[in-house]
Structure 1
Amino acid sequence: MVGTEETRLIVLHGNSASGKSTVAAGLRDRFGRNLALVGQDNLRRTVLRERDRPGAANIGLIGITARYALDAGFHTVVEGILYADRYTAMLQDLVSEHRGISRCYYLDVPLQETLLRHATKSDPAYLAQVTDQHLRDWYRERDLLPDGVETIVEASSTLDNTVQRIMRETGLDTVPPINR
């Protein structure tokens, strides 16, 4: 078992440029301290510098990092593309073993909208490195986790509405932040 009955686990899953990192940052901004962000991009690309492939080391590292944060009493957001065929087993184990409230969300954004959102990123080096063709190659329509465990968040949901919804549905809106 992992975490406590008081900890919250939130999984944000979806295609590149669907808003996962922005929603995660919005949750932290709204909640404050004691909310850990476990980003697939950070662990896979920055820490390990590995490609996203079946059985890759980042899958286990994401699970271990989330477990560590939950066991340390942090509410935890795991966010990333998290392709279902590669990450389902780790995410299912994490959710099933978490003692507290766990909720999974799939940000369902059509390809054309992801291309538009990607174009608004402010980092020119990133935009040069990750092209529209990359987004097309990586895109998987409705790449949902099995068993209907995810709440689908449509592209029409604003950032504020999405953050408020997740705060409410996980109960984070009623939990006082801890100043560490």
Structure 2
Amino acid sequence: MTPTLVVIRGNSGSGKTTTAREVRRRYGRGCALIEQDYVRRTMLREHDSGAVDAVAPGFLVGIARAALGSGYHVVLEGILHSRRYGEELRRLVDDYDGRVFHLEVSFDETVRRHRRRAEPIPVTAEQMREWYDPHDLLRVRGERVLPDSMGFEQVVTTVLHDSGLAAAAPSTPCPVRCPRCAGKV
């Protein structure tokens, strides 16, 4: 079975992390979640700036390739600006027939959602405006734009079904071959 690649992109505060975490939770074991902010900020301590050559784009794609190559389905999420991440992401999506979802949320709605987050990032609306890039699509085959008129449940269900994850079986050692998990599948 070929592992599934799902890429969830959008502006800060659009709901991509919450969506990706819920997609993975509903799928269960056998699905790797790769969060751009965690990799870039925590693992690499790298700023997301066009001023320097960034390690994060290649690093994120390398992690995704390693997980996919090991049989894990992958949900990769982040702002993933097409100017900095586009080339690497397009190759990854092409190589694994990935499904790309862009959460298209207005600036005012991103600010409102950001303020309601359980773990808000300490940024101002002015900083968020600097990052905001409306309709920053990868322009790959099958890229799906999900508007802010869709509710959270509808977005999660759309991602699960349109990507094929809703019907995909795990192929990784855990839970397929793991002795602790085998009896629970």
Do these two structures clear the TM 0.5 threshold for a shared fold by scoring above it? yes
Q: How does 1:1-180 map to 2 (within 5 A)?
A: 5-54=1-50, 55-98=53-96, 101-123=97-119, 126-127=120-121, 129-147=122-140, 149-177=142-170, 179=175
Q: Is the 8 A contact 2:90 2:140 kept in 1?
A: no
Identity of aligned residues (%): 37
Larger radius of gyration: 2
Give 3-state SS (helix, strand or coil) of 1:135's partner: helix
* Residues in 1 aligned to 2:139 and 2:127: alpha-carbon distance in whole angstroms: 26
How many aligned residue pairs are there? 171
* Residues in 2 aligned to 1:154 and 1:133: alpha-carbon distance in whole angstroms: 23
* Residues in 2 aligned to 1:130 and 1:74: alpha-carbon distance in whole angstroms: 34
* Residues in 1 aligned to 2:140 and 2:169: alpha-carbon distance in whole angstroms: 32
Q: Is the 8 A contact 2:24 2:75 kept in 1?
A: no
Give 3-state SS (helix, strand or coil) of 1:76's partner: strand
Q: TM-score, normalised by structure 1?
A: 0.89
Two-structure CA RMSD over aligned residues (Å): 1.5
* Residues in 1 aligned to 2:6 and 2:168: alpha-carbon distance in whole angstroms: 15
* Residues in 2 aligned to 1:120 and 1:6: alpha-carbon distance in whole angstroms: 38
Q: Give the superposition deviation at 1:160.
A: 1.1
Q: Give the superposition deviation at 1:122.
A: 2.2
Runs of 5+ in structure 1 lacking a partner? Answer: none
Q: Give the superposition deviation at 1:135.
A: 0.9
Q: Give the superposition deviation at 1:130.
A: 1.5
